[in-house]
């Protein structure tokens, strides 16, 4: 009996949050960044490379990038394997 009540409360809370999630959705993809040329360039780059029909479109399976904490791209270092 106690589990049924807890399940119903959990379900009600989830549905309540789900109904209002859209209202709190962020429109800024980088809300913690200051507006400036770096933020604008990254947002524009992502937009042009992910929109189908764009001349710079990159298919999802070919998209590989990682960023450092300050927003700069992090260059990957290759791990060489010994074959012997």
pLDDT digits (tens, 9 = 90+) for 3-62: 777 778 887 777 777 666 665 666 888 888 899 999 999 899 999 999 999 999 999 988
Note the pLDDT of residue 5: 75
Q: What confidence score (pLDDT) does residue 4 get?
A: 75
Position 19 scores a pLDDT of 67
What pLDDT does 51 receive?
Answer: 94
Report residue 46 as tokens. Answer: 């992502």
C-alpha–C-alpha distance, residues 47 and 41, integer Å: 10
Model pTM score: 0.48
C-beta contacts of 53-59 below 8 A and 24+ residues apart: none
3-class secondary structure, 40: helix
Q: Is residue 30 part of a domain?
A: yes
Range of the domain at 48: 2-62
Q: What are phi and psi of 38, to 5 degrees?
A: -65, -45
Tell me how many helices (H) and strands (E) the chain has.
2, 0
Is 67 within the bounds of a domain? no
- Domains in the chain: how many in total? 1
pLDDT at 39: 92
């Amino acid at each position: 009996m106690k589990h049924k009540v807890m399940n119903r409360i959990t379900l009600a809370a989830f549905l309540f949050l789900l109904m209002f999630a859209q209202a709190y959705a962020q429109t800024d993809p980088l809300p913690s960044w200051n507006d400036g040329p770096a933020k604008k360039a990254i947002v524009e780059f992502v937009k042009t490379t992910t929109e189908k029909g764009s001349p710079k479109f990159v298919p999802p399976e070919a998209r590989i990038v990682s960023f450092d904490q300050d927003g700069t791209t992090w260059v990957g270092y290759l791990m060489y394997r010994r074959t012997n």
